[in-house]
Amino acid sequence: MNDRFKEIISRLSEIFKKLSSVQKAVIAVVLLLVAGAFIFTLTYSAKKPGYMLFDKALSPEDYGKVTAAIKKMNITFSTRDDRYIIVDDDETGRRIRMNLAQENALPGGIKGWELFDTQKWTTTDFERDVNLRRSIIGEMTKHLESLEWIEKVKIDISFPQKKLYTDQDREATASVTITPAPNCEEYLKERKVIKGIEKIVAFGIDNLKAENIVISDHRGEVINDFTEDDGMMVYKKGKEKIKIIDQKRRQFESRIAKAFDKYLTESRYEVNVQIEMNFDEKEIKKDEILPIVLVPDNPETPYSELKYTENIPISRKKLTESAKGLGMIPEGPPGVEPNIPPGYKESLDKGLFYNKNEDIENFVNSKQTSSVKHDAYDIDRIAVSVGVDGSWERIYDKNGDPIFQSNTYLRRYVPYPEEDLRKLEDLIKGAIGYNSARGDIVVVKNIMFDRQKEFMEEDARFRQQRNIKSTLIFSLIVLLSLFVLTIMYRAVKREIIRRKRLKEQELARKQQMMRESILRSAEEEMPQEQLSGEDKERMELIEKANKIAAENPEVVAKLLRTWLASE
């Protein structure tokens, strides 16, 4: 390689020496120009381009305020057209914007997406979310304030956090307060105008529905509520009821899906939930007489220690009666006079004494007075039906390979075990708060799902893999064949070259022998003294050539091949 390079250098130097003085001067000037252009390019490409502090042109007031603030920061900058400010790099621009924001010196109008121009690499996700909300509100405010009849707009938006399950996400809500321009309050009474603003806000903010927007005027009166008539109110209540029922249904479905998450994949089951709800407001007052618990039950023991009584005595009164005297004198049959002497009969009752003692005991019962007020809605009944699919197994042959027949796998369906179905039913009951007294129903059945589409895709993948495998095997065979043919070709070629070389060597040897024989015969016929000087030199060269051919036959063979090729 070095010899080659030296050869090129020597040729170039020879060519340069052959040039005239004018040509040499022209070449020197061209080389100097190329070197100067190269140095100029490197010098100016290494310089850092300027960075525009604000993308838009500044007003004269903002321009003066911002330049004065930057001068106080002792930061170098340049201007263009007295409307644009240019700094050295992006880092300097971010630092300047942050300082301007802290000093409340940012140009007017930087309230929307321009907030992201002041982001730092240390900004947290919370700050980015806050800036995003402020930007959305700022852009929407500027959009509404561009209307000629609106003087000022105040927008408040709630951005609820996202939940794990989408059906549990809360919807975004917004409130808009509009201050009309002077002599433009009649626009607030036009339904089309208010509905247009409602749609502008709903379409401009992601995941915000028109029914979740409240628009009020500067006096606080809601101006986008057009459901004052009874028909619209009934419709609105019905819509809210349907929304609540649907929300509860999705809530129960999410609970069931969470309970099944570790046992079944989502494609293995189908859940249907029906809820009957009562939206009547109720207030119930009742008095209940309850038994009095003497000994409570211990839940840790398998038997019951509960002792109770229906009532307990709170007071007792005892009554005792006694009599003392002659008592009663028996008399005879009716109409017959007794044999008591006259005067004695009247005195019999005067010696009688009577005593009465009364014993009274009062009992009391346990009484509970309660007042129950139901919510705006209550669940009357829950019905859950779940269809669980079994599993499909491939059929294998004796060698353990899957059987593929008619371009499809042979499969066997295995139903879901009944014992596991009962366990799933218990999981569902726990997830929905099953209450048999309420009439809840839970049904879990094994159902064969239609997997034809999945099987077709799986079979198509298998056929594709098989075709790829066949193509790879065929390609390997072709490559191996080419490799073998190449080896054979090279072996045959080497053999042909070897034989050709041997043939050339043999030819050279024969020619050498012929020359030697001719020389010997010439020497024998002509004495050494009669040879001329040229003949002697030729003889010496022939001897040297013979010696070299004897020592290096390969060099001689290459030389002969070169001569033959030239001829």
Backbone angles phi, psi at 515, to 5 degrees: -65, -40
CB-side neighbour CA atoms (13 Å) of 186: 1
* Residue 157, strand partner residues: 174
User: What is the DSSP code string of 410-424?
Assistant: -EEEEPPPHHHHHHH
Which residues have C-beta within 8 Å of that of residue 47, sequence separation ≥ 6? none
Backbone angles phi, psi at 97, to 5 degrees: -65, -35
In sign, the C-alpha dihedral spanning 248, 251, 257, 260 is: negative
Token pair for 204: 């401009």
Token pair for 417: 């075990």
Element (H, E) at 52: strand 51-52
Query: CB of 160 within 8 A of CB of 198?
Result: no
User: How far, rounded to the nearest angstrom, does the alpha carbon of residue 412 sit from its chain's CA centroid?
Assistant: 36
Distance CA 57, CA 68 (A): 17
Distance CA 405, CA 459 (A): 10
Backbone angles phi, psi at 429, to 5 degrees: -60, -40
Q: In what order do the strands lie in the sheet with 311-324?
A: 283-290, 353-373, 311-324
User: How far, rounded to the nearest angstrom, does the alpha carbon of residue 391 sit from its chain's CA centroid?
Assistant: 29
In sign, the C-alpha dihedral spanning 415, 416, 422, 428 is: negative
**pTM of the predicted structure, to 2 decimals:** 0.35
Longest distance between any two alpha carbons in the chain, whole Å: 228
Amino acid identity, residue 216? Answer: S
Which residues have C-beta within 8 Å of that of residue 366, sequence separation ≥ 6? 289, 290, 291, 292
User: How far, rounded to the nearest angstrom, does the alpha carbon of residue 143 sit from its chain's CA centroid?
Assistant: 32
User: What is the DSSP code string of 156-225?
Assistant: EEE-PPPPSSGGGPPPEEEEEEEEEPTT-GGGGG-HHHHHHHHHHHHHHSTTEEEEEEEEEETTS-B-S-
Angle at 241 between CA 237 and CA 243, to 5 degrees: 115
Amino acid identity, residue 71? Answer: K
Distance CA 299, CA 288 (A): 25
Angle at 565 between CA 561 and CA 567, to 5 degrees: 120
Question: Which residue is associated with the tokens 């490559």?
Answer: 479
Distance CA 508, CA 555 (A): 12
Distance CA 483, CA 485 (A): 5
Q: Give the per-residue pLDDT at 48.
A: 46
Residues 517-545 as b/e (b if ≥16 CB within 10 A, e otherwise) read: eeeeeeeeeeeeeeeeeeeeeeeeeeeee
Distance CA 410, CA 476 (A): 31
Q: Give the per-residue pLDDT at 326.
A: 58
pLDDT in tens, the chain (567 residues): 566 667 777 777 777 777 777 777 777 777 788 777 777 665 544 444 566 777 667 777 788 888 888 888 888 888 877 777 888 877 787 677 656 755 666 665 544 455 455 555 666 777 777 777 787 888 788 778 877 788 888 888 887 776 666 666 778 888 999 988 888 888 888 888 888 888 888 887 777 888 889 998 888 888 887 766 556 667 777 788 888 888 888 888 888 888 888 888 888 888 888 888 877 777 777 777 878 888 888 888 888 888 878 787 888 888 887 777 655 555 666 666 666 666 666 665 555 667 778 888 888 777 778 777 766 677 888 899 898 888 888 888 888 777 777 777 788 888 888 888 888 888 888 888 888 888 888 988 888 888 888 878 888 888 888 889 888 999 899 999 999 999 999 889 888 888 888 888 788 777 777 777 776 676 665 555 555 566 667 667 777 777 776 667 677 677 766 766 665
Element (H, E) at 377: none
Which residues have C-beta within 8 Å of that of residue 229, sequence separation ≥ 6? none
Question: How many Cβ atoms sit within 10 Å of the Cβ of residue 411?
Answer: 16
Q: Give the per-residue pLDDT at 376.
A: 67
Query: CB of 157 within 8 A of CB of 174?
Result: yes
Distance CA 253, CA 276 (A): 15
SS3 of residue 286 by DSSP? strand
Distance CA 98, CA 96 (A): 5
* Residue 308, strand partner residues: 293
DSSP E strand stretches across 325-416: 353-373, 378-388, 391-394, 404-405, 408-409, 411-414
Distance CA 167, CA 258 (A): 13
Distance CA 210, CA 227 (A): 14
Q: Give the per-residue pLDDT at 420.
A: 86
